[in-house]
Amino acid sequence: MRITLKVNGQPRQFDADPDLPLLWALRDFLGLKGAKYGCGIAACGACTVHVNGAARRACVVPVGSIGDAEVTTIEGLGGKHPVQQAWLEAQVPQCGYCQAGQIMQAAALLEQTPKPTPEEIRVGMNGVMCRCGTYPRIEAAVRRAAELMSTKGEG
């Protein structure tokens, strides 16, 4: 069937089965490679994107269930988002494969909880796995991003 998705502010149309997971719609149908396949069962979080601002595991979200909700991927974050800036400052990524998911999860977390406690950061980021072991830096970078965002808000 004809699917219309609002992705990164743009309406995009393509023909697909409504059960097609959002991840593969983004990667194979729309050419947006930022969200990654890691497990296919919402266990690793490498595919995390925003649907109406909330972090969702795109590998288990059927494309037909999204309706007119806004989908945002790492490509739509703009490259200069405070979370991305903080990620560079803290030199977080190693292999980098999970990091789009980490960044999208962090951006959604800070949208909801602008000043998270260390425990809120750890719990909030718990669903996105990293095999290289960048968790200490992720925690530091989320704290830094919260600072950057609050400064921006005040300015």
Partner 1 sequence: MVTRREFVLSSGALAVAVSLPLGACRAVDDDFGPGFLTAYLEVAPDGRVTLHSPTTEMGQGTHTGHAVIIADELGVDLERVNVVTAEPADPFRRGGQMGSGGSWGVRYWYEPLRKASAQAREVLLAAAGVQWGVAPSELVLSRGEVVHEATRRRVGIGTLVAAASQLPVPDSPPLRPKSELRYTGRNVPRVDLGPKIRGEPVFSSDVERSGMVYACARLSPVFGAEVDGFDRDSAKRVPGVLDVVPIPGGAAVVAAHTWAAMRGAEALAIRFKPTPHDRLDSATISRQMRAGLGPDAKTIKAREDGDLQAAMKAARRVVEADYEVPYLAHAPMEPWNCTVEFNAESVLHIWAPVQTQDRNRNAAAAAAGMAPEKVRLHTTLLGGGFGRRLGSDGIAAAVLTAKAVKRPVKFFWRREDEFGQGWYRPAQVARMKAALDADGRVTGLHVRTAGPALSASFSPQGLPAGQIDGSSVQTIRESRYKPAAFHVEWVRVDQPVPMAPWRSVGASQNGYFLECFVDEVARAAGRDPYELRRELLAHDARALNVIDTAARSAGWGRSLPEGRARGMAFVESYGSLCAEVAEVSLKDGRPFVHRVVCALDCGSIVLPDGVRSQVEGGIVQGLSAALGEAVNIANGGADNRNFDTYPLLRMTQAPEKIEAIIIESGEAMGGVGEPSLPPIAPAVVNALLALTGKATRQLPISNQGFS
Give residues in contact with partner 1 (CB under 8 A). Answer: 17, 20-21, 24, 27-29, 31, 33-41, 43-44, 46, 73-75, 77, 79, 84, 87-88, 91-100, 103, 118, 121-123, 125-139
Q: Which is nearer to partner 1, 28 or 147 (CB)?
A: 28
Q: Is the CB of residue 51 less than 8 Å from the CB of residue 35?
A: no
Cα–Cα distance between 82 and 111 in angstroms, integer?
11
Please give the helix or strand (H or E) that residue 17 lies within, else none: none
Sequence-distant (≥ 6) Cβ neighbours of residue 42 within 8 angstroms: 57, 59, 60
- Distances from the Cα of 119 to the Cα of 63, 70, 115, 116, 150, angstroms: 33, 29, 11, 8, 19
Q: Which is nearer to partner 1, 69 or 127 (CB)?
A: 127
Q: Which is nearer to partner 1, 22 or 115 (CB)?
A: 22
Least Cβ distance, residue 129 to partner 1 (angstroms): 5
Least Cβ distance, residue 151 to partner 1 (angstroms): 20
Q: Which is nearer to partner 1, 128 or 149 (CB)?
A: 128
